A and B are shown apart, each in its own frame.
Chain A
Amino acid sequence: MEGRPPVFAFRWNKWRRLVQVSASTAPSILWFIPCNGDRRYLGSNRGNRAPNYRHFSTIARAADTLGYDGVLVPIGSHNRDPWALATALSTETERLKFLIAVRPSVLSPTLAARQVATLDRISGGRVLVNIVAGGSSSELAGDGVHLEHDERYAHADEWLTVYRRVLSGETVDLDGQYVKVKGAKLEYEPVQSPHPPIYFGGSSPAGIRTAAKHVDLYLTWGEPLEQVAAKFAEVREAAAAEGRQIRFGVRLHVIVRETEEEAWEVADRLIRDADPALLEEARRRLAQSDSVGQQRMLALHGTSKDRESLLVGPHLWAGIGLLRGGAGTAVVGNPQQVAETLRAYQALGADTFVLSGYPHLEEAYNVAELLFPVLGKENRLASDLPHAWEAALAGSFAR
């Protein structure tokens, strides 16, 4: 890539010193399965797609063919069940990994361990587990979970203790405050040793404490660089205090087009039809969440659809958060601009990006075709066949 500035990242060496390393290796890129349905626009009734398996299967197979490293399969009471979906999709894909959201409070750690080991074997080691302890209290009450914010993380801590040790082959007794098991064990192992990597999202101090103790990769929603830098530093420090190292990842939407103008037009159109009353209502509902990450997302914008007021960093647009809970920012621009933005997160230590875009099938192709080459990542579907075909056509005209 000519004109590309040298890029660096920081890692802990074996003496626990922070060292600069080249981050020129391409990051892991995961795509997204929209388990509550897919759409072309936000806040509109046009172009919505039903949450059915045939469609998810099309998206997953496209991501597999294009060369994505994996897909995030999210959880929520308005979502299809991520475990059932990911399992079925694993049988229809070859290389794709499945980052499957698991809510510790709704199932026992030993049952989760059996499910994870089983799917790791079915898929040939393609399971990644995303632990989601948080969410909204009212949603969790509907799941029969009545824990306050910090209690949820205390529960997740005990749950993860049993889950990790059982998957690693130990027999576990724990008389915890929330989890009490006697002689817990697993009778067959997962493919990945000691267990499939644990990803985790959670921005509160309690969340970060739990991450530091247990997880392999800390995921954050795509906040502006300075905020992410501070958060990663805090997590890194907390992990170091536990004598552990943690990898980092960023969850972002992406709108990439050949030119910057085109990309911004797509971004504007995404939310154009949403009426102001709907924006107020979305804000009111999201404000009720006791997730710190959600409040940090909401703080990035008001209720205006104005492009300028939604620009929260270079090429970082907060418009999606007007109408969607959770990850609310998108990187918008031409391939170079989007790649530069991602490299800036890489320089903070992120080696993984979980990307998505509406609608998810079409945007999976756009991202692979336009962004992968600039990131040094292979679009496995890319072909030089069109040239050969044009040549043949030219030949036939000449006759």
Chain B
Amino acid sequence: MTKIAGAPELFWFVPTSGDSRFLGHPESARQKDFGYLAEVARTADAVGFDGVLIPTGWGGLDAFTVAAALAPQTKRLKLLTAIRPGLVSPSAAARFITTLDDISGGRALFNIVTGDRVNELQGDGLSLSHDDRYDLTDEWLTVFRGLLQGDEVNYEGRYVKVRGGRHPFRPVQKPYPPIYFGGSSEKAIAVAAKHVDVYLSWGEPVEQLKAKLEAVREAAAREGRTIRLGARFHVVVRRTEEEAWQAAEELIAHADETAFAAARAVAEGRESVGQQRMTALHGGSRRREQLRIAPHLWAGIGLLRSGAGTALVGSPDQVAAAIEEYRSLGVETFVLSGYPHIEEALYTAELLFPVLGKASPAFTPRAAQPQPVQAAAAQ
């Protein structure tokens, strides 16, 4: 395996829809409370993650609001805030992100999520088809980027019509905070190619992801652009491989049939190619061998959670090797998470960061600590 120079960019996750020790297990669920989310974010900040993803969706606390509340409570953490273009005007979004960039001292990021849950989209007043939604995202991003660059924007699209649009403030990050994006369909990739800075994919097996990322890179090249790549995984890292697999498999061991059925229904209600690809990885099977879709990639989470459904599982060296393999495809950013999110943030920083060559302010390597004997001798 080729070792990529430098450490990857590692983000953690703010579980705005709720956290638990086991999936499909209400007894171990934690309050969907901002105080708890702030603890998760402060933990991620303290142990040295580069940022956190704050997701969107009906079940969770609102991403914008959580991001703005976390900004004064964190120091280094970037706040990757999910936004659905159809629900807010590009001008209002530009004012929000620029203000968040000011509040946080240049730590604001948007993750553009066009949305795939049909019932939620209709409830939010968006009744467009899958492809039309991406047309809207395309128009929205055109205006949004224009405003952030300081242009006067006049735009007559099918969904977005702006006359004399202006945004008076320049963000702290220049020319504007990098735009992240998720979406696996052909249409989505075409929009990403035109507009975005970082393309995020849920964590698929290496071969599958390789083909997808090549398609993204080629589409971007046709637009004369380059795009950075990121991947979204759960992670279960322990001192030994055995412990890690035990912890992973226990995550889904306490769920009852209704929990599996409910998760299946949610996944089926999502009109997204990415979700179809995630579901296909486990195919509904709960057999241990079938869920281990690569030596250190496990699809079990997808049985009980829609969206990102795979986990990297193993010893620190094994998980790091898996990450290096994805890095060799060009993935620079990893958005990680684990249940429960405070404890797993600590495990990940303590065990995985050193192997990846990533510094953690909370877990300084022993060699770097001052030796008491030498310190005494120096006096």
Point out which of B59, B153, B164 has the most chain A C-beta atoms below 10 A from its C-beta: B164
CB distance from B144 to the nearest CB of A (A): 11
Interface size class of chain B, counting residues whose CB lies under 8 Å from the partner chain: 35 or more
Quick one: CB contact mask for A56-94 with B, threshold 8 Å, 1 for yes? 010000000000000000000111110111011011100
B103 contacts A88, C-beta separation under 8 Å = yes
CB distance from A144 to the nearest CB of B (A): 5
Residues of B contacting A118 in the complex (Cβ-Cβ under 8 angstroms): 34, 61-62, 65-66
Residues of A contacting B86 in the complex (Cβ-Cβ under 8 angstroms): 108
A122 contacts B123, C-beta separation under 8 Å = no
Identify the closest chain B residue to A178 (Cβ): B125
Verify if B22 is at the interface (C-beta below 8 Å from A). Answer: no
A180 with B125, Cβ < 8 A, contacts A91-B73, A142-B91 known: yes
Among A84, A114, A145, the residue within 8 A (CB) of B58 is A114
Verify if B259 is at the interface (C-beta below 8 Å from A). Answer: no
Identify the closest chain B residue to A143 (Cβ): B91
Using a Cβ–Cβ cut-off of 8 Å, how many residues does chain A contribute to the interface with B?
Answer: 49
Verify if A185 is at the interface (C-beta below 8 Å from B). Answer: yes
Bound complex: CA A10 to CA B122 (Å): 45
A119 contacts B92, C-beta separation under 8 Å = no
Verify if B342 is at the interface (C-beta below 8 Å from A). Answer: no
Verify if A52 is at the interface (C-beta below 8 Å from B). Answer: yes
A143 with B165, Cβ < 8 A, contacts A110-B125, A181-B122 known: yes
Residues of B contacting A185 in the complex (Cβ-Cβ under 8 angstroms): 58, 123
A145 contacts B88, C-beta separation under 8 Å = no
B73 contacts A142, C-beta separation under 8 Å = no
Residues of B contacting A83 in the complex (Cβ-Cβ under 8 angstroms): 64-65, 68, 96
Bound complex: CA A212 to CA B243 (Å): 64
B125 contacts A144, C-beta separation under 8 Å = no
Q: Which of B155-163, B183-191, B193-201 contacts A (4 or more CB under 8 A)?
A: B155-163
A111 contacts B62, C-beta separation under 8 Å = yes
Point out which of B32, B65, B71 has the most chain A C-beta atoms below 10 A from its C-beta: B65
Verify if A169 is at the interface (C-beta below 8 Å from B). Answer: no
Bound complex: CA A10 to CA B111 (Å): 52
Which chain B residues (42-93) contact chain A, with CB distance < 8 Å? 58-59, 61-62, 64-66, 68-69, 71-73, 84, 86-92
A181 with B72, Cβ < 8 A, contacts A79-B95, A85-B99, A106-B88 known: no
Bound complex: CA A179 to CA B166 (Å): 26
Quick one: CB contact mask for B239-266 with A, threshold 8 Å, 1 for yes? 0000000000000000000000000000
Residues of B contacting A106 in the complex (Cβ-Cβ under 8 angstroms): 88-89, 91-92
- Interface pairs (7), CB distance under 8 Å: A77-B91, A87-B65, A142-B153, A143-B92, A144-B91, A180-B125, A188-B32
Please list the 6 inter-chain residue pairs (A to B) with the smallest Cβ-Cβ separation, ordered nearest first: A87-B68, A81-B99, A141-B163, A142-B165, A118-B62, A81-B95
B residues with CB within 8 A of A? 32-34, 58-59, 61-62, 64-66, 68-69, 71-73, 84, 86-92, 95-96, 98-100, 102-103, 119, 122-127, 143, 153, 160-169
